[in-house]
Structure 1
Amino acid sequence: MLTAAISFLLTAGGVAVAGLRARRRRFRSATRWFAVALLPAGLYLTGLFPLASTIGREFADWATRLVFDPRVWTGLVLLGVSAALLFASRRPGRRGEVESSAERPAAAGAAPERPAVARAPQAPKTSKDPKASGKPQAGKRDDGLGDFADIEEILRKRGI
């Protein structure tokens, strides 16, 4: 019965403050006050005050045990050690350490070698110029970038 009286008094007080705020043309503030004022009555009518009371008592009991009971401190230490071990066991794999060969799967074999750039087929040229013959010159390697020679020449002319 006392809980009902207190909750409805809190609701009435909040509604009064909301009315004063609305009278001063502060409607947004009045709306907030009215919303908060409805909470105590709503909690009482739905029966949540006993639940909140039980939760509050249990939390207070836990906090008291946390401070005064050595078993709780032992549990917290065990949780900390567990977290530290889990963290420490993950670090070596990230630093690049190699696992033992028994744990690794067998390799499928060496990867076949492939050219970096596929060359397009070239049409035969009739020029007597060694560059235009399509054959690589002595001392130079063919890296598949022959198509970019004219672009490179244009850039060189412009000083880029």
Structure 2
Amino acid sequence: MLAETVCSAASAAGLGIAAVTAYRKRFLSATRIAAYALVPVALVMTGVVGWVSGIVFKPSVWAGFGLLGIAWMLFSVTRFVERRSEGGTRKERRAAEAAGGEAIAPAASAPSLGAGRRSAARPAPKAKGKPGGADDFSDIEAILKKHGI
């Protein structure tokens, strides 16, 4: 009964504000305010307010929500524990890492658009020429001379 009275008062106040807004020649805003003001009365007339207030003020409903929360928490904890125990214990994981440090397919993580079919096990060929990377600078010098710099 109290919820219906509050909704009716809110609708009456909203319609009053809509009337003042229409008096100020803002008809579009006044229509929008009137539409919002009619929603609480419509909810009372359809019985939604009574249904919601019946749910909100029953202790058994709140106990049900509490049980749902506990069930959700238990599901979350079991998932966390299950994920954590999939890899075995910490000692088993450390022993596995120490024993088999090498990957099964080392070239699997190489980029697919790399420099051809070069395998990861074979080292890149070293540049022939002067030690210290002098040919790198000679290439740069040749490019600069070509452009007249």
For normalisation by structure 2, the TM-score amounts to 0.44
Higher gyration radius (CA): 1
**RCO higher in 1 or 2 (8 Å CA, sep ≥ 6)?**
2
For normalisation by structure 1, the TM-score amounts to 0.42
